[in-house]
Structure 1
């Protein structure tokens, strides 16, 4: 009897391990696979390295900003000669982000430029926030926002406020020059 119970437990454990190690591509795997690929740029940015004028932040924006620890950036630069590759890579990212674990937060579209913000976690606490933007003439960028106790609603408010914030562009010079 004890031997049968052990056998059942081992079988369940083995099944759980195989199921949890699915071969679906994750966003993190996509980052790793493309970090040294042609037309891609990656950069890890600790939030302490980004100087942002917080003097006009509301309390919610300040809390959201302080919950962020680092940003993982991945960009793809397109050119006229590789639109097929661009469309293929764009489709891969969209497939990854269509996974049900990514919850929608914000979608914005303006003159051929699209930005989507999603999060992983619950409405009260996000494990990560994903900002995905694309423009056919430039390429696309994905920013994984990682931190502790991030609230998706407050992060949405913060993202809107950062569009008009004073950010020291010298800190992002490598990224900006990559897309030129």
Structure 2
């Protein structure tokens, strides 16, 4: 009888352990799983590689810009033949981003393109900022923004400034060519 209780306890403990270890997937694992898959492009680069005109940045925007150290990009290209796969991949990403650890920062649409910005962290400090953009005719892209002492409020003002800033597009030519 003792042996049966002991085995039952071990089985229950193992089941609980296995269930708690199962994860619904993370954005980082999604990046790793798809970085070399067909129709995907992946690039990591330090922010220092991206040259842009910061002359009109406010002090707050400069602080936010300087708090970013690295960008991870993963893109999926739509090609007319993969509409179902595109929708399935977008659904996967949205399922990952719907996890409660991702806090909403901003969301906007422009000319059929939808952009969602979320972050992991507290209201005072973000550990990671995620930008997810999609367009039916192009596909989608995810940018993981990593850095130190990133403030969600300052990051949102930085995104507004970046929409107006002049970026040397030749630096991002590989990514832009992928979506053509």
What's the TM-score once normalised by structure 2's chain length?
A: 0.89
Aligned to 1:74: 74
- SS, match of residue 163 in structure 1: helix
After TM superposition, the structure 1 = structure 2 runs for residues 96-175 of structure 1, keeping only pairs within 5 Å, are 96-175=96-175
Cα deviation digits, residues 116-153 of structure 1 (max 9, x gap) = 00000001000000000000000000000000000001
Q: In the aligned structure 2, how far is the partner of 1:165 from the partner of 1:115?
A: 18
Corresponding residue of 2:40: 40
Shift of 1:102: 0.4
Counterpart secondary structure, 2:81:
helix
CA distance in 2, matches of 1:84, 1:158: 34
CA distance in 1, matches of 2:19, 2:82: 37
- Cα distance in 2 for partners of 1:113, 1:148 equals 29
Return the TM-score normalized by structure 1.
0.89
SS of the residue 1:94 aligns to = helix
* Deviation, structure 1 residue 109: 1.4
- Stretches of structure 2 lacking an aligned partner (at least 5 in a row): 1-13
The match for 1:84 is 84
1:21 deviation in Å? 3.2
Match of 2:57 in 1: 57
Shift in Å at residue 55 of structure 1?
A: 1.1
Provide the aligned C-alpha RMSD in A: 1.8
Q: For residue 20 of structure 1, report the CA deviation from its aligned partner.
A: 5.9
Once the two structures are superposed, residues 28-71 of structure 1 have per-residue CA deviations (whole angstroms, 9 ceiling, x without a partner) of 00000000000000000101111111111100000000000010
Q: Aligned runs of 1:9-28 on 2, under 5 Å?
A: 21-28=21-28
Distance across 2 between alignment mates of 1:54 and 1:17: 50
